[in-house]
């Protein structure tokens, strides 16, 4: 007779207190089974969560959430936390409309705090929460920050560490989830882990990790590393890795085996009782317990779509993506131009730069989770005679706006930014939608912005962008499969005409990937007696001057975009017309100024009224209103006089 399963009985962290360590290990195995089954069906961040099972169990055993505040950097490693805080029954709805969010979400649980899922920020949150308690005289509440996935490569994390170290009275525990290295100790006990690690290849790997972190630390990192390792090679076995952090003012515990619950509990208990800022270094294996995630490329299993739980292979054939088109064209240009270099911020594979790296490893730079550094470094490379291509997600450009504005644009640096995942992205939630870039970049002088509508215009825009050496350029495109090419039947002064209905009164300006929808809506409107001309300016900043001449022929202009309407392309068109004295009515179809929760992209577009059917109805309605207005207008000469 088999033993009853443990996981269904876990309704909250308090239930963990009743389990012995044998039961806890069985629970960890059940959680991994659960994650593989559920995430394979819904898609999500599988690899990171498989690696933090024991870490999260131990944290909830030692710390008393929500009294003790547990913060995650980044939030995609919080699935196990959700399971242990009463939400396992909701995992069938993970990342689906009305279901569990893929990141912590305050509306779901009092155990969740940070909803923003951008990396490197949680240490600042931790500092702020701990100081807030301290100022109010609140005692016996520990703030715990789980930092992982390279977050310490971000400059903001080190700004926070610098401030945390300066305040020794803060009860703050930093758990560094180092899942970049695999390590398997043979004995238990926190006291023995460091010596064990020193006698394995894992220790050498840890030292490399420490060196990389410190060398990226502003001002103090390199001197500390040189002090510890510059005298002679053998000194690394004397000083131990804790010196790297304790010289920064942080108490260091570890390294700890991240898959040994007893060792983790012991380390966390010591850290909690210390009562001052402590860093606990935990070594975990990303994807642990799932052979495809461990044996194949780890990056591929960081986040997955719907896959086979046995093989990890996608359940449906993946169509060519916008990312793959960009990657292919960049490699081709790279063979033609030796001055072309590529920069990424820890997103080599997701942005497609892994293909460029395979061909040109010496011309590819991964700076870690450091978009600000990537942007300013690119300006320096441009000054030195290179043409950098910085490929990041649209939502992550937000973090580097100041550098884009004052380091790149002010200096008219020949840098090309390529923004993947632009527009409404769907199930990753509000902090991952790429809906801000058009509004943000619209106020940046000297910057040129392109929004290609298909694969062909993406290739064309990329080639045009890298030819511009005296100003920055930016290209944006959405997540997912690239649409079929939409050929223009005419290109007039830089503007592609995609559709022209007879006796057209409405000029429909389509931005980027909205073109397919715009053309279909125009065709449907024509069948209802409304003439529409659809144009694609290709470069939406600056807008072609010929747009003014073209617009004068129409009675109204409609702009459709997948960014926020406030400050977007429609706003730019409106300002342009006002400056030219044009009084043509402008209608805007886009994203309202609000945070959009997780759902599929299609569900969100339906909610926003950005569908062929709703656009068609709007076109017909606006045309009817325009005609009604014309009928009610009376020429001044025919107005009766008293």
Locate the domains of the chain by residue range: 7-183+249-301, 322-476, 495-628
Q: How far apart are CA 396 and CA 351, in angstroms?
A: 12
Q: 223, 220, 238: which is closest to 162 by C-alpha?
A: 220
Catalytic residue status for 371: yes
86 by Cβ neighbours in 10 Å (0-12 / 13-18 / 19+) ranks as: middle
CA atoms within 13 A on the CB side of 228: 24
Q: Do domains 7-183+249-301 and 322-476 have the same CATH topology?
A: yes
Q: Are 256 and 280 in contact (CB under 8 A)?
A: yes
Q: What confidence score (pLDDT) does residue 557 get?
A: 96
DSSP 181: S
Q: What confidence score (pLDDT) does residue 198 get?
A: 31
Q: What confidence score (pLDDT) does residue 602 get?
A: 87
514 token code pair = 């909205």
What are the backbone dihedrals phi and psi of residue 291, each rounded to the nearest 5 degrees, phi first?
Answer: -55, -45
Strand, helix or coil at 511? coil
Check 236, 251, 272, 286 and give the catalytic one: 286
Q: Does domain 322-476 have CATH number 3.40.50.970?
A: yes
Check 399, 538, 541, 565 and give the catalytic one: 399
Those residues of the chain that have pLDDT short of 50 are 1, 181-204, 227-239, 298, 300-301, 304, 310, 635-642
Catalytic residue status for 286: yes
- What's the start-to-end Cα distance of the chain, in Å? 103
Check 285, 371, 453, 565 and give the catalytic one: 371
Strands 556-564 and 251-257: unpaired
Q: What confidence score (pLDDT) does residue 642 get?
A: 36
Pick the CATH number of 7-183+249-301 from 3.40.50.720, 3.40.50.300, 3.40.50.970, 3.30.450.260: 3.40.50.970
Q: What confidence score (pLDDT) does residue 242 get?
A: 60
Q: Does domain 495-628 have CATH number 3.55.40.20?
A: no
Q: What confidence score (pLDDT) does residue 228 get?
A: 45
Q: Are 626 and 556 in contact (CB under 8 A)?
A: yes
Q: Are 557 and 622 in contact (CB under 8 A)?
A: no
Catalytic residue status for 67: no
Q: What confidence score (pLDDT) does residue 638 get?
A: 45
Q: Which helix (H) or strand (E) holds 440?
A: helix 437-441
């Amino acid at each position: 007779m088999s033993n009853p399963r443990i996981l269904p009985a876990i309704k909250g962290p308090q239930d963990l207190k009743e389990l012995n360590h044998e039961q806890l290990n069985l629970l960890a195995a059940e959680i991994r089974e659960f994650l593989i089954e559920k995430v394979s069906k819904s898609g999500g961040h599988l690899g990171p969560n498989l690696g933090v099972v024991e870490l999260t169990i131990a944290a909830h055993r030692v710390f008393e959430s929500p009294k003790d505040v547990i913060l995650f950097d980044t939030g995609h490693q919080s699935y196990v936390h959700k399971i242990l805080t009463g939400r396992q029954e909701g995992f069938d709805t993970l990342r689906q409309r009305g279901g569990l969010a893929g990141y912590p979400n305050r509306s779901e649980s009092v155990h969740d705090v940070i909803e923003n899922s951008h990396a490197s920020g949680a240490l600042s949150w931790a500092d702020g929460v701990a100081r807030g308690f301290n100022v109010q005289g609140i005692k016996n509440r520990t703030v715990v920050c789980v930092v992982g996935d390279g977050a310490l490569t971000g400059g903001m994390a080190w700004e926070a560490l610098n401030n945390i170290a300066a305040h020794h009275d803060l009860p703050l525990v930093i758990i560094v989830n180092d899942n970049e290295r695999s390590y398997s100790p043979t004995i238990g006990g926190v006291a023995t882990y460091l010596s064990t690690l020193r006698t394995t290849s894992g220790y050498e790997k840890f030292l490399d990790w420490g060196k990389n972190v410190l060398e990226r630390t502003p001002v103090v990192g390199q001197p500390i590393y040189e002090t510890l390792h510059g005298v002679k090679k053998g000194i690394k076995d004397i000083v131990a890795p804790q010196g790297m952090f304790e010289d920064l003012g942080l108490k260091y515990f570890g390294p700890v085996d991240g898959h040994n619950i007893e060792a983790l509990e012991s380390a966390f208990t010591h850290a909690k009782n210390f009562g001052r800022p402590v860093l606990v270094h935990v070594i975990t294996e990303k994807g642990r317990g799932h052979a495809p995630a461990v044996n194949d490329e780890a990056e591929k299993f960081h986040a997955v779509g719907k896959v086979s739980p046995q093989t990890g292979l996608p359940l449906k054939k993946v169509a060519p993506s916008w990312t793959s088109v960009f990657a292919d064209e960049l490699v081709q240009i790279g063979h033609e131009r030796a001055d072309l270099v590529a920069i990424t911020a820890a997103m080599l594979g997701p942005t497609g730069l892994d293909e460029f790296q395979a061909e040109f490893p010496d011309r590819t730079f991964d700076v870690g989770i450091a978009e600000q550094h990537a942007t300013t470094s690119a300006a320096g490379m441009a000054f030195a005679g290179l043409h950098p291509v910085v490929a990041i997600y649209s939502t992550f450009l937000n973090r580097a706006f100041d550098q884009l504005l004052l380091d790149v644009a002010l200096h008219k640096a020949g840098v090309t930014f390529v923004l993947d995942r632009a527009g409404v992205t769907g199930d990753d939630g509000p902090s991952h939608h790429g809906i801000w870039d058009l509004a943000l970049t619209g106020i940046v002088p000297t910057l040129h912005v392109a929004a290609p509508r298909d694969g062909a215009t993406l290739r064309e825009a990329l080639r045009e962008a890298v030819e511009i050496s005296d100003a920055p350029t930016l290209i944006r495109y959405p997540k997912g499969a690239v649409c079929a090419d939409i050929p223009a039947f005419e290109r007039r002064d830089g503007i592609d005409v995609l559709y022209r209905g007879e006796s057209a009164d409405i000029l429909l300006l389509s931005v980027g990937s909205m073109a397919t929808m715009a053309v279909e809506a125009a065709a449907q409107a024509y069948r209802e007696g409304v003439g529409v001309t659809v144009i694609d300016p290709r470069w939406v900043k600056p807008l072609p001057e010929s747009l003014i001449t073209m617009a004068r022929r129409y009675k109204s202009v409609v702009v459709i975009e997948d960014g926020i309407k406030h400050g977007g392309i429609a706003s730019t068109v409106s300002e342009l017309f006002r400056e030219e004295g044009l009084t043509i009515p402008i209608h805007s179809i886009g994203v309202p100024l609000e945070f959009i929760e997780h759902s599929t992209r299609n569900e969100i577009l339906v909610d926003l009224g950005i569908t062929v059917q709703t656009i068609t109805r709007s076109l017909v309605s606006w045309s009817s209103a325009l005609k009604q207005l014309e009928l009610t207008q009376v020429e001044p000469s025919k107005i009766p006089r008293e």
